[in-house]
């Protein structure tokens, strides 16, 4: 990769670069370079600084690519194999491997040609895994979006037809009379958060949860008919996120996305809510939906990679 080409990677692209180390300078380079940069609207100053190509150290990305080249299916690799799996030239792969050897993250196999990861690699994730449960990990991420993107951000789970809020960050919704503290329960049928979780369940489970609570109109826009709700869930699944415009509280607009486990089933959901006077529905969906989906995907990936170490903190599912 030429220095000029390397400079085109920004922070979001770097995450793809590290996560997909195979053929970094071949097939994955096209994927990375085609990654759509984040919208300028509502971008935090810290994120803008991170996305400056001048702030990206390519050697660090390459070192992580070397570590990611090893896996359960290929626990031992030669220099040539590392180079092939990362798209690096052999000289660069050789120097990075020996740097990681010196730091203790790789060790040589007795045959003298192969290398493998060491247990020291666990240090990279131990601090995160041991720090908190899912609500604890989600809260600072929710806080980053309030009030920059939304007036409130939430994490919740589904239990017998109700959404239980596990984490909530808000600013400025008091005038709407909405209280959604951690532990608050509300019928999943009437919330974008609940619909985002329900949409990824099998049909029989959707019906079970929808029939587990009394469905009443919280506003003139609340859907309570079972067939209509099931059709809505199909639409949410096809779109990838749920939208509520005053369906459970007048004057509030919400976008929500599911946090999926390794099987593709909903573990939880995240939502972003704004007062109606701040954006039109179309404006808020265009701004907030990508953030909700990225946040849900990040939490889901964290849960999957933790292999059970990150849980719901005792909340029922």
More confident residue, 23 or 283: 283
Looking at residue 43, the DSSP 8-state letter turns out to be: -
Measured distance CA(203)–CA(183) in Å, rounded = 27
Is the predicted pLDDT of residue 60 greater than 70, yes or no?
yes
pLDDT tens profile 228-260: 999 999 999 999 999 999 998 888 999 999 999
Give the model's pLDDT for residue 181.
83
Give the model's confidence band at 56: pLDDT under 50 very low, under 70 low, under 90 confident, else very high. confident
Measured distance CA(4)–CA(8) in Å, rounded = 7
Q: What residues does each domain of the chain span?
A: 3-123, 132-305
Burial of 282 (0-12, 13-18, 19+ CB in 10 A): exposed
pLDDT tens profile 77-89: 999 999 999 999 9
Task: Please tell me the CATH code under which domain 3-123 is placed.
Answer: 1.10.10.10
Give me the residue label for tokens 């972003």.
272
- Are residues 162 and 185 in contact, defined by beta-carbon separation less than 8 angstroms? yes
3-class secondary structure for 106-169? EEECCCCCEEEECHHHHHHHHHHHHHCCHHHHHHHHHHCCCCCCCCEEEEEEEECCEEEEEEEE
Q: Which long-range contacts (CB under 8 A, 24 or more apart) does 25-31 make?
A: 25/1, 25/87, 25/88, 26/87, 28/87, 29/1, 29/5, 29/87
Task: Please tell me the CATH code under which domain 132-305 is placed.
Answer: 3.30.450.40
Measured distance CA(195)–CA(40) in Å, rounded = 29
Instruction: Cis check for the bond before 84: say yes or no (omega within 30 of 0).
Output: no
**Residue 273 pairs with which residues in a beta bridge?**
152, 254
pLDDT tens profile 161-193: 999 999 999 887 766 566 778 889 999 999 999
pTM: 0.66
């Amino acid at each position: 990769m030429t220095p000029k080409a390397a400079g085109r990677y920004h922070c979001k692209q770097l995450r793809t670069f590290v996560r997909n180390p195979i053929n970094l300078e071949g097939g994955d380079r096209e994927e990375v370079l085609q990654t759509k940069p984040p919208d300028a609207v509502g971008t935090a100053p810290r994120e803008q600084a991170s996305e400056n190509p001048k702030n990206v150290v390519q050697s660090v990305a390459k070192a992580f690519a070397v570590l990611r080249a090893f896996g359960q299916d290929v626990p031992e690799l030669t220099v040539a194999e590392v180079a092939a799996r990362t798209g690096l030239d052999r000289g660069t792969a050789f120097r990075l491997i020996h740097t990681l050897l010196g730091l203790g993250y790789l060790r040589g196999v007795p045959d003298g040609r192969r290398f493998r990861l060491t247990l020291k690699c666990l240090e990279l994730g131990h601090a995160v895994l041991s720090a908190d449960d899912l609500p604890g990990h989600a809260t600072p991420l929710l806080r980053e979006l309030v009030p920059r993107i939304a007036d409130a951000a939430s994490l919740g789970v589904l239990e017998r037809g109700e959404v239980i809020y596990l984490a909530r960050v808000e600013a400025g919704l008091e005038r709407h009379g909405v209280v959604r503290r951690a532990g608050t329960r509300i019928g999943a049928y009437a919330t974008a958060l609940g619909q985002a979780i329900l949409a990824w369940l099998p049909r029989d489970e959707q019906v079970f949860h929808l029939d587990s609570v009394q469905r009443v109109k919280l506003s003139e826009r609340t859907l309570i008919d079972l067939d209509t709700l099931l059709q809505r869930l199909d639409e949410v699944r096809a779109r990838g996120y749920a939208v509520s415009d005053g369906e459970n509280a007048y004057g509030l607009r919400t976008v929500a996305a599911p946090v999926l486990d390794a099987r593709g089933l909903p573990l939880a959901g995240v939502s972003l809510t704004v007062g109606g006077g701040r954006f039109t529905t179309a404006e808020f969906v265009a701004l907030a939906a990508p953030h909700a989906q990225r946040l849900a995907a990040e939490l889901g990936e964290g849960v999957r990679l933790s292999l059970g170490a990150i849980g719901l903190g005792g909340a029922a599912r």
